[in-house]
Amino acid sequence: MLLQGKKILITGVANDWSMAWAIAQRCAENGAEIAMPYAMPNLEKRVRPLAEKIGAKFVTECNVQNDAQMDALFGAIEREWGHLDGVLHAIAFSDKNELTGRYADTTRENFKNTMDISVYSLVDLTRRAAPLMHDGGSIVALTYYGGEKSVPNYNVMGVAKSALDSSVRYLASDLGRDKIRVNAISAGPIMTLASSGVGGMKSLLRLNAEQTPLRRNMTLDDVSGAALYLFSNLSSAVTGEVHHVDCGYSTTGMMPNELKEVLLRGLDEGEQ
């Protein structure tokens, strides 16, 4: 019960595949009370039954681009709970048509919208949550390696993740004196509603599993375990970090020998 008595706002639950849902369950199992808003009306029918399973509160519509809905959510949390101990930012959006092909073809409109929803929302959530974190707190965002290196088709979302990673460091610097820690988990790829919009996701998952040092893809249990650590006092001296939970993918500089051999054999056969 690492989170006994803690109150945590979990954003980004869309369905039972969502990483945020795995994290919400893990936090609840460890004694936390959960607030679990949803982004838009059509998600209520999926999110409400999940929220009921873990006794989550504040199951209200909250689109991060809608200031009135953000005011209402934080107003309700302040009135009913009076404080917060943690926030999970698990929010990303970009036009699916631009998550394939060239980054160079990104439109100004989609660039701005992607940044607003996927990055500025962390700043806004943090600024609103901080005054409720009377005894310190932990803010955790979900990011991806495509913000550190170019990954085919990830395009503007990769640029957004770079900005998210950087925001984590700046927010950690701003809020450290209030004992509020801000970190990101750089999760390995996994099939969800959001990731299914990235071109070539199925083949990326197949290749990724062959390429990581652990020779497998990350699971929802892996990511929720890391979030539990970051929300708990076990990580009390950790802030401003991007913690990779990716079966070691980001630590490698070249694919393993067995994969290289398969690839070279394929190339040789193609040449014949």
Candidate list 144, 145, 229, 249, residue with the active-site label: 144
Our answer to whether residue 170 is catalytic in this structure is no
- 183 touches 239 (CB < 8 A): yes
Q: Which residues bind ligand NAD (CB under 6 A)?
A: 12-14, 17-20, 39, 43, 63-65, 90-93, 117, 142-144, 187, 189-190, 192-195
Our answer to whether residue 249 is catalytic in this structure is no
Residues in the chain: 272
Closer CB to ligand NAD, 52 or 261, in the complex: 52
CB of 193 to ligand NAD, least distance (A): 3
What b-and-e string marks burial along 30-44, b requiring 16 or more CB atoms within 10 Å of the CB?
A: bebbbbbbbbeeebe
- Exposed, middle or buried: residue 267 (CB in 10 Å: 0-12, 13-18, 19+)? exposed
CB of 243 to ligand NAD, least distance (A): 12
- Exposed, middle or buried: residue 234 (CB in 10 Å: 0-12, 13-18, 19+)? exposed
Closer CB to ligand NAD, 12 or 137, in the complex: 12
Q: 3-class SS at 111?
A: helix
The conformation of residue 189, written as its DSSP 8-state character, comes to P
For 253, other C-beta atoms within 10 Å of its C-beta total 4
Instruction: Kindly state the tokens that stand for 147.
Output: 């913000």
CB of 66 to ligand NAD, least distance (A): 8
Q: What distance in Å separates the CA atoms of residue 249 and residue 98, rounded to the nearest whole number?
A: 25
CB of 112 to ligand NAD, least distance (A): 13
Instruction: Kindly state the tokens that stand for 216.
Output: 């497998």
CB of 173 to ligand NAD, least distance (A): 22
- Exposed, middle or buried: residue 90 (CB in 10 Å: 0-12, 13-18, 19+)? buried
Instruction: Kindly state the tokens that stand for 37.
Output: 């808003």
CB of 237 to ligand NAD, least distance (A): 24
Candidate list 145, 154, 229, 249, residue with the active-site label: 154
Q: 3-class SS at 188?
A: coil
Closer CB to ligand NAD, 46 or 57, in the complex: 46
Active site residues: 144, 154
